[in-house]
Amino acid sequence: MNKQERVTFVINTLKELYPTIPIPLNHKDPYTLLIAVLLSAQCTDVRVNQITPLLFAKADNPYDMIKLSVEEIKEIIRPCGLSPMKSKGIHGLSHILIDKHGGKVPQSFEFLEELPAVGHKTASVLMSQAFGVPAFPVDTHIHRLMYRWNLTNGKNVVRTEKDAKRIFPKEIWNDLHLQIIWYGREYSPARGWDLEKDIITKTIGRKTVLEDYAKKYTSSK
């Protein structure tokens, strides 16, 4: 297959596997999504979805959030890891949303990335999932799969995002990045990877990746 045929194969396979696409993080509005995404740094979505109901029961908007102390937030979110940094970020960004944005999450990459603890990936998730603006947030799953599928050189997530935006149609970015995440979790994980179940990598995978897998599989028998 040439590159365009591989891209089409990825799109069609993912569409067939995930005709409806669940959002990984539970939320009810842009603010609760923002907090959930912030908590998901170096933490599983499953764990985040267990903790956010406890936090949101006390504060599901910036006005209630700033009534909590940083220490109170830290105690609630401790199971998500990095709680000192995340609790300060949540408290700080809630103040900024009230002071600068009328308590609303701004619909702008520029303003989102000015918030404490909010980087480009978090801003991209908000723009795509909360506001429907085309974006392509790159997490570890997407970074890994784009390399395995020989669609990027895999040097860094910035390069991977640029390549993804260049080769995939803009109108499907918001669905496609979620489909790739789900596929990575279910069929092409970093650990416990079974190539026989990973139809996309098995069909279009980078030659060196397939060779490395074959060596590892052969040596483990």
pLDDT value, residue 129: 96
Report pLDDT digits (tens) over 75-129. 999 999 999 999 999 999 999 999 999 999 999 999 999 999 999 999 999 999 9
Q: What's the 3-state SS for the chain?
A: CCHHHHHHHHHHHHHHHCCCCCCCCCCCCHHHHHHHHHHCCCCCHHHHHHHHHHHHHHCCCHHHHCCCCHHHHHHHHHHHCCHHHHHHHHHHHHHHHHHHHCCCCCCCHHHHCCCCCCCHHHHHHHHHHHCCCCCCCCCHHHHHHHHHCCCCCCCCHHHHHHHHHHHCCHHHHHHHHHHHHHHHHHCCCCCCCCHHHCHHHHHHCCHHHHHHHHHHHHHCC
Q: How confident is the model at residue 220 (pLDDT cuts 50, 70, 90)?
A: low
Tokens of 83: 């709680």
Averaged pLDDT, 196-205: 97
Catalytic annotation present for 175: no
Catalytic annotation present for 121: yes
Q: Judge whether residue 221 has pLDDT over 80.
A: no
pLDDT value, residue 154: 79
Percent of the chain topping pLDDT 70: 98
Report pLDDT digits (tens) over 169-194. 999 999 999 999 999 999 999 999 99
pLDDT value, residue 218: 67
pLDDT value, residue 95: 98
pLDDT value, residue 103: 98
pLDDT value, residue 219: 63
pLDDT value, residue 8: 98
| Given the residues 74, 86, 121, 198, the one annotated as active site | 121
| Given the residues 15, 45, 139, 162, the one annotated as active site | 139
Averaged pLDDT, 134-149: 96
Domain annotation for the chain: domains and CATH numbers? 3-20+137-219 (1.10.1670.10), 30-131 (1.10.340.30)
- Tell me the average pLDDT of the chain: 96
* pTM (2 d.p.): 0.91
